[in-house]
Amino acid sequence: MEHTELIHARGHEHVQSTHASTFEVTSDDWLTPAGDCILAIEADRTPADFSEAFVDAAQSHEATITATLSTDDHTHTITGRGHPDLTYEGDRSAVGRTSDYVDDRTIMVGAEGAAESVDRDLVAALADGADLTLELRVTVDE
């Protein structure tokens, strides 16, 4: 079983992508230099918009969640896993985490990478204001 959600957002001059344990896409229309985990702003969707089927699948310990970050010229993939405590109720931002910490913004736990691991050419494109597509795919081994 596989479910997919798409978020469209855009880069910003303050995108640094240096955080060691999280990556984030926010619906906010601004970004300060302190937001070192944020990859893009003005997201058109948040976890609260995701389908019930996606959320149900992601709440399995057997779920693999793949985040594919794409601009016109660059793609980077981060894989993590689901967790029964994932609610996808966040209505402001989507956060991937290398840890097992869960809040209403968390879209995956146990991610094999964070903002600092994102391809630097993709980060540079986002810092120049490129459009970002975040594709989230959840797969559950039955």
pLDDT in tens, 88-135: 999 999 999 999 999 999 999 999 999 999 999 999 999 999 999 999
**How far are the Cα atoms of 27, 30, 58 from residue 68, in angstroms, in the given order?**
18, 23, 16
Residue 1 has pLDDT above 90, yes or no: no
Alpha-carbon Rg for the chain in angstroms: 14
In terms of phi and psi (left: phi > 0; alpha: psi -120 to 50; beta: otherwise), the region of 42 is: left
Of 116, 142, 131, 120, the C-alpha closest to 62 is 142
Per the CB < 8 A criterion, the answer to whether 108 and 95 are in contact is: no
The token duo for 27 is 């619906």
**Mean pLDDT, residues 59-87 taken together:** 98
CATH code assigned to 2-140: 2.60.120.630
Residue 141 has pLDDT above 90, yes or no: no
Per the CB < 8 A criterion, the answer to whether 95 and 24 are in contact is: yes
Residue 142 has pLDDT above 80, yes or no: no
Q: What is the Cα–Cα distance from 26 to 43, expressed in whole angstroms?
A: 6
Banded model confidence at residue 70, pLDDT cuts 50, 70, 90? very high
Predicted local confidence at residue 135, as pLDDT = 98
- Residue 104 has φ and ψ, to the nearest 5°, of -70, -10
What single-letter amino acid sits at 64? T
